[in-house]
Chain A
Amino acid sequence: MKFRSFVRALCLATACVAAAPVPAQGNLEINTPAIAAVRQSMQARHVELEPLYASGAVGFARDGGVVLRDASGVPLAQRARVNTLIAAENADRNALYREIARANGHPEWETDIRATFAQRWIERAKPGWWVEGQSGWTRK
């Protein structure tokens, strides 16, 4: 009898404890207003960046950002614009990685989140886009 109540108490305690740390297991929180704002801004910018990815002017770096790979195909008049786009995109990406880490209560995850995104951007880059691998730049 005593043992049964012990088991019951143990089950209850386990249930209480198990119910608590849910967010770390399933999905990461990515729906905060700060993250939504960055996502929207990146989506709007993609319209301008996509042709630059396709032409090879801009590539996906290993650090989770984008870089000017080859400016030779970009008309002189547009180079300033392209640099602005790259800087804005990298600022947004940095904010995105930082905000996801913060939204999930672990600011120290920022580096891991950055690495995860870097790998996913590169993995999912469309055919013809340039990505930075361990042994330099390659065209997908």
Chain B
Amino acid sequence: MDAFQRFSLVLAVTAVLAGCVTINIYFPAAAAEKAADRIIDEVWQLREGATVHTPPAANGGAQ
């Protein structure tokens, strides 16, 4: 019985570990979408609620 318990413990831990490794390998699509939206908000300056209005394309030499 002791040996059986040890065996099943090892088996369980291995299974859990394998599960975690599997989770880690798959691309986290939902998290990536969230990250993309956060960055898009920032780049487009949507977080402050106001888009910064800029002079028309006419003065393109600004930088």
Q: Determine if A116 and B56 form an interchain contact, defined as CB atoms under 8 angstroms apart.
A: no
Q: Determine if B32 and A113 form an interchain contact, defined as CB atoms under 8 angstroms apart.
A: yes
Q: How large is the interface on A (under 10, 10 to 19, 20 to 34, 35 or more residues)?
A: 35 or more
Q: How many residues of B contact A (CB 8 A)?
A: 39
B21, B40, B43 — most chain A CB neighbours (10 Å):
B43
- B8 → chain A closest CB, angstroms: 8
- B48 → chain A closest CB, angstroms: 12
Residues of B within 8 A of A47 (CB): 52, 54
Chain B at the A interface: mostly helix, strand, loop or mixed?
A: helix
Q: How far is the CA of A20 from the CA of B45 in the complex (A)?
A: 35
Q: Determine if B36 and A120 form an interchain contact, defined as CB atoms under 8 angstroms apart.
A: yes
Known interface pairs A39-B42, A43-B42, A43-B43. Does A26 touch B57 (Cβ–Cβ under 8 Å)?
Answer: no
Q: Determine if B39 and A109 form an interchain contact, defined as CB atoms under 8 angstroms apart.
A: no
Known interface pairs A10-B12, A27-B31, A82-B60. Does A21 touch B24 (Cβ–Cβ under 8 Å)?
Answer: yes
**Which of A17, A48, A106, A112 touches B63 (beta carbons < 8 Å)?**
A48
